[in-house]
Amino acid sequence: MYDDVFIAGVAMTKFGVYPDRSVAEMTDTVVREALADAGITKREIGCAFFGNTAQGALEGQLMIPGQIALRQAGLTGIPVVNVENACATAATAFSLACSQVAAGVADVALAVGVERMNINDRAKSMSIFDGASDVHHPERVQAELVELGGQQDDKGEGDHSPFMDVYAAFARAHMKAYGTTQEQIAAVAAKNHAHAVHNERAHYRKNLTVEQILAARPLGYPLTVPMCSPLTDGAAAAIVCRRDIADRLERRAVRVRSSVIGTGVERDLGDYSRHVTALTASRAYDQAGVSPQEVHVAEVHDATAFGEVLLSELLGLVPEGDGGPAALRGETTVGGRIPINPSGGLESKGHPLGATGLGQIFEIVTQLRGEAGARQVDGARIGVVENGGGYQNGEEAVAVVTLLEG
């Protein structure tokens, strides 16, 4: 489907806490850097997809955030589409940009994701997560979480996003079904914190041991704070183009094999074979003509370390139920059988909601170009990106799976 769609350029800010950097300023930064990376001019961009989830709620900038931010970045006179699709916003923007190029509507398309979460009002920032599940039927959501993870009255210590409670329920369900342990989940977090030490764009760059992670401030069991993504600001961008434009880039262009957006179907809560990510991944692999066994490196949406455990299984990178043991054995570490989240993952690199998916794209493009330095996966030629978001019926409300080839 995407035989003639390539990533020409990528860019990503350092993820972190930047209450004084505006959405427009971060947008301008990544647009300029992506253009420079691609070696093209603004005049060549035929359309743009702007991803953001929080600016309307936190700043009151509704309806036209992309038009405002991109005009300030010097992009005018082209179609601009605003994209909001929960935590999968940036990957959705990327997928839509690819579709425009694949359809011949544009020769070059831009996808941008940007988020300013830290506004010096933590309660307001945290409140945006309340709208990422069915606000009209909270009792139904709560009943599903109890069915998944049992009644859990201990919510841990300190404030946190309600999605940490969601992931905790997911984790307890998996522990009951497969024997996954808290130590295995901590091993995922320790591995990702170690990866992030070598990522100059990561929010946190500190090595943590499994023991330190287990001893950290508890949230809903089995999660502790270092297993969970922080409140992060940042931006990322990708420029996609036709093959003939990519051919002039001296082999730095990365081919898009597939990019599939999926939502859930009716299923029993314990039926992982019909999980939204499993179904979306199956379509993405089929369209790409690639099997999970051919993937060399992955970036997955680990809003908590348990997320990586489950997603590694749903993507077919490890057998069902083996996500935790595989991490403990070192299989998912850089240098292991199938490195996952060499960037440090969301719990270390950070999770600026509307930028996260393009941050993942940035990492896999960097890996496939062989430019990741100390975290480089040797011989990486095919990479997979999974970006999910929201909650609905016992799983993420949306998943986007992308296959890239260097």
Is residue 386 within 8 A of residue 299, CB to CB? The reply is yes
For residues 204 and 197, give the distance between their C-alpha atoms in angstroms, rounded to a whole number.
Answer: 8
- Helix, strand or coil for residue 401? strand
> What contacts 139, CB < 8 A, 6 or more positions away?
none
Query: Up-side HSE of residue 384: CA atoms within 13 Å toward CB?
Result: 34
Q: How far is CA 74 from CA 23, 98, 235, 350, 383, in A?
A: 14, 22, 17, 28, 32
Whether residue 87 lies in the annotated active site: yes
For residue 189, the 8-state DSSP code is H
**What residue type is 55 in one-letter code?**
Q
Residue 75: exposure state from Cβ atoms within 10 A (0-12, 13-18, ≥19) = buried
Give me the amino acid identity at 38.
Answer: A
Structure tokens at 406: 């260097």
Do the Cβ atoms of 109 and 100 come closer than 8 Å?
Answer: yes
| Annotated catalytic residue within 47, 87, 228, 241 | 87
The residues that bridge with 234 in the sheet, in sequence order, are 115
Rounded CA separation 64/28 (Å) = 16
Pairing of strands 5-12, 254-262: antiparallel
In angstroms, the CA 94 to CA 302 distance is 19
Number of neighbours of residue 282 by Cβ within 10 angstroms? 18
- How many C-beta atoms lie closer than 10 Å to residue 140's C-beta? 12
Cβ within 8 Å of residue 70, ≥6 positions away: 27, 31, 48, 50, 76, 80, 112
**Roughly what angle, to the nearest 10 degrees, separates helices 305-314 and 276-288?**
50
351 classed as catalytic = yes
By the 8 A CB rule, do 195 and 204 touch? no
- Residue 145 — φ and ψ, nearest 5°? -65, -35
Give the distance from CA 117 to its chain's centroid.
16
Tokens of 88: 């999968």
**Which residues are known to be catalytic?**
87, 351
